[in-house]
Amino acid sequence: DTGVSQDPRHKITKRGQNVTFRCDPISEHNRLYWYRQTLGQGPEFLTYFQNEAQLEKSRLLSDRFSAERPKGSFSTLEIQRTEQGDSAMYLCASSLALGAGELFFGEGSRLTVL
């Protein structure tokens, strides 16, 4: 296993379209996190899962955003009716629930909404 994998790496879409991002965590990691990062800012927490349970969601996650982790392995983040303000890098990270809690990030999925 080489780390956290995200797909697609880049997505350009028109305003109003739906987009979906996928994240495959490190195989033995039971926690999975989604963050959003805009230019010049640090990543902001969106949501996290422990196994298949979504345990916390940020207020940044509007009704147009939904995340799933159906079998406790990979996760998807869907954005419906995209807006220009959704343009950002969407980062996925994973960790073990026990231990030091070190997070490992993927390369991110960059979304551009025209």
Partner 1 sequence: KQEVTQIPAALSVPEGENLVLNCSFTDSAIYNLQWFRQDPGKGLTSLLLIQSSQREQTSGRLNASLDKSSGRSTLYIAASQPGDSATYLCAAGRANSKLTFGKGITLSVRP
Considering only residues 14-43, where is the footprint of partner 1 by CB under 8 A?
31, 33, 40-43
Residue 69 is a binding residue for partner 1 (CB under 8 A): no
* DSSP category for residue 84: G
Q: How far apart are CA 18 and CA 6, in angstroms?
A: 18
Q: Determine the residue type at 37.
A: Q
Q: Of 1, 8, 51, 56, which lies in the binding site for partner 1, with binding defined by CB under 8 A?
A: 56
Residue 77: exposure state from Cβ atoms within 10 A (0-12, 13-18, ≥19): buried
Cβ closest to partner 1, residue 18 vs residue 38: 38
Residue 103 is a binding residue for partner 1 (CB under 8 A): yes
**Cβ atoms < 10 Å from Cβ of 4:** 22
Residue 104 is a binding residue for partner 1 (CB under 8 A): yes
- Sites of contact with partner 1 (CB under 8 A): 4, 6, 31, 33, 40-45, 48, 50, 55-56, 91, 93, 95, 100-108, 110
